[in-house]
A and B are shown apart, each in its own frame.
Chain A
């Protein structure tokens, strides 16, 4: 036994030596990790953020979708139909319109996801067993958001009527449903996912690349020591900021052209609205992202931290903006967060203009929201940008 151990002493020595060197590196890494507070915070914050977003905010079966009703007659049966839609939890009847043009506008602006139309004589034809038509127009620009509600529509309507069609009217109790539910999928009738995803990608790609690129461009100056030189020369903060981000507006422009060409020729995404309106939206959105990147660069102390901040912003942007998952499916708090993100509003502009042929009036709120975001972020950047090395 002794002999056995003795023979292995050099081996054990080599092992403990190696172990002590591993420990040395391990301890050094631990210390450095603790010193880099930002990285440490990110390592803890990102999993928490992902858990909250994926666990609570994302819902692939969106309910309570805003719905406009256009009812041309009021009878007990119509009323119980509407009640059934409401109690199904899929449809929230938030508007009642008298004018079909008004309903169409609500749908185009994205204020409602559905318009339910019940024509004059609906009840009479129902009683006569003529299977009247009930029209549901759905905003299918985001197919995932509306598909479940649409799929349940016929069942909800007919089950409600089965309840009412009793007694004298029992013989009418349906074999096939007493009402023919007609679904009009608007804007993307074939529910082609690319129609929704590709315009959205325009926003996602611009957010990711531009925020990161500006955040890094500025921290690079600090990291390489050229910031001190820049500060010693007569350049004002806004001059540096504008000069720094202007080249990237060009970069964003090139990206936009590439994505729009791909959308048209590779994915056959329709373009129904005005190009100028989309481009105006793109420019505003570019500026918002560049201003945000610049703000990150005034917070981050290294290029690494700038990357982390970008990722930290990118995650909710992609998950809560309605890009990946239906915006209307998210709980209220997540929608509030979503409203604060420029990507959410840009998606409304780009999908509205490309798929729905929206005009300026339809998307002006989105424009306003991005403009406010830009101003707020710009002010933060200006106050944080230091004229001195303090």
Chain B
């Protein structure tokens, strides 16, 4: 089972480009996602994540590039890709004026599922929504809507799941439940590509693909990406450290200063420059120590290196 063997790749796309009129949304993206893994798709807003996912599942025609999804050509075989893929849109896109059961029933009919009634019953049971099955879907809370959508897109037992920011605007408990479900599906053999903004979610993935300005910046495991960034991070704790951020941000050698987790983090490529900056900002009761850089720091460093948005918006 060599991961590079084409038959083992759930997604194998090369040089994907998408232009909308004059604007380039995605600019030459390659993704080789082995079957059975959970990959995180990260990047800032407007970096081209949604567009890439839509091209993979046949909702958008690439302007250039080629590739296969589950062995089917993404340019010619979108009908077959749709049958074997579950795609969960960023915005809840099931029918708010249909009940939970009617939504699932509609999906089951479209995929011509045998034993439709039983499948719907089972799905409702797994979701724990049997007692609410006759409520309209529009009345569900954000977290429940996402769980319903996930159940609906996995009901036809797809081999690949494409989830576009499934946990945006969902509370922490619901997010955790959602991720447990993703891991359960993955263990059952599904391949998952999930886009997200949350760094903690990235760490739940087998591998991360980072997209910025329509280009693939880096990919790999969390630890590798942090190592690749070559960042050094110092953390300060103590009273009043938050005010130090403004000062330190403009010190030479400091790429990034941010206050989170009740501590100030500064990062840069050189330890000595950072130490000099720290030395100048030693206050009373402020303790500095070197820590492991966070994924967020690593991405910001990578972004800065990749340069600003060079896509043509003319």
Chain A residues with CB under 8 Å of chain B are 224-229, 231-236, 387-390
Contacts and interface: CB of A to CB of B under 8 A. Distances in A.
27 contacts: A224-B93, A224-B96, A225-B89, A225-B91, A225-B92, A226-B93, A226-B95, A227-B93, A228-B59, A228-B89, A229-B89, A232-B57, A232-B82, A232-B85, A232-B87, A232-B89, A233-B82, A233-B107, A233-B110, A233-B111, A234-B82, A234-B83, A234-B110, A235-B110, A236-B79, A388-B58, A388-B59
B79 A234 contact: yes
A390 B51 CA distance: 10
B54 interface: yes
Contacts of A387: 78
B61 interface: yes
Interface in B75-115: 78-79, 82-83, 85, 87, 89, 91-96, 107, 110-111
Contacts of B89: 225, 228-229, 232
User: Which has the most chain A C-beta neighbours within 10 Å: B83, B93, B95, B107?
Assistant: B93
B60 interface: yes
B292 to A, nearest CB: 40
The 5 residue pairs across chains A and B that have the minimum distance between CB atoms: A229-B93, A232-B87, A225-B91, A234-B82, A225-B93
B74 to A, nearest CB: 11
Contacts of B58: 388
A387 B54 CA distance: 12
Contacts of B93: 224-229
B54 A389 contact: yes
Contact of B60 (A226, A233, A388): A388
Nearest to B91: A225
Q: Is the interface of B mostly helix, strand, loop or mixed?
A: loop
User: Which has the most chain B C-beta neighbours within 10 Å: A231, A234, A235, A236?
Assistant: A234
A229 B78 CA distance: 14
B111 A234 contact: yes
Contacts of A231: 59
Interface residues of B, number: 22
A348 B111 CA distance: 44
B79 A389 contact: no
Contacts of A390: 60-61
A323 B54 CA distance: 49
B145 to A, nearest CB: 12
Nearest to B86: A232
Contacts of A235: 110
Contacts of B59: 228, 231-232, 388-389
Contacts of B96: 224
Contacts of B54: 389
Nearest to B93: A229
A148 to B, nearest CB: 54
B62 to A, nearest CB: 10
B273 to A, nearest CB: 47
Contact of B94 (A229, A234, A236, A389): A229
A59 B293 CA distance: 83
A390 B61 CA distance: 7
B228 to A, nearest CB: 34
Nearest to B82: A234
A389 B110 contact: no
A3 B6 CA distance: 89
A232 to B, nearest CB: 4
Contacts of B83: 234
B94 to A, nearest CB: 7
B94 A388 contact: no
A388 B58 CA distance: 7
Interface string B47-65: 0000000100111110000
Nearest to A229: B93
A387 B110 CA distance: 15
A163 B167 CA distance: 95
Contacts of B92: 225
Contacts of A389: 54, 59-60
Interface in B16-64: 54, 57-61
Contacts of A388: 58-61, 78
B161 to A, nearest CB: 12
A227 B89 CA distance: 11
Given A226-B93, A232-B59, A232-B87, 9 more contacts: A227-B93, A229-B93, A233-B82, A233-B110, A233-B111, A234-B82, A234-B111, A388-B61, A389-B60
Contacts of B82: 232-234
B58 to A, nearest CB: 7
A231 B93 CA distance: 11
Contacts of A233: 82, 107, 110-111
Contacts of B107: 233
Nearest to A236: B79
User: Which has the most chain B C-beta neighbours within 10 Å: A225, A231, A232, A388?
Assistant: A232
A387 to B, nearest CB: 7
A227 B59 CA distance: 11
A92 to B, nearest CB: 55
Contacts of A226: 93-95
Nearest to B138: A224
Nearest to A226: B93
User: Which has the most chain B C-beta neighbours within 10 Å: A226, A229, A235?
Assistant: A229
Interface string B222-237: 0000000000000000
A106 to B, nearest CB: 53
B50 to A, nearest CB: 10
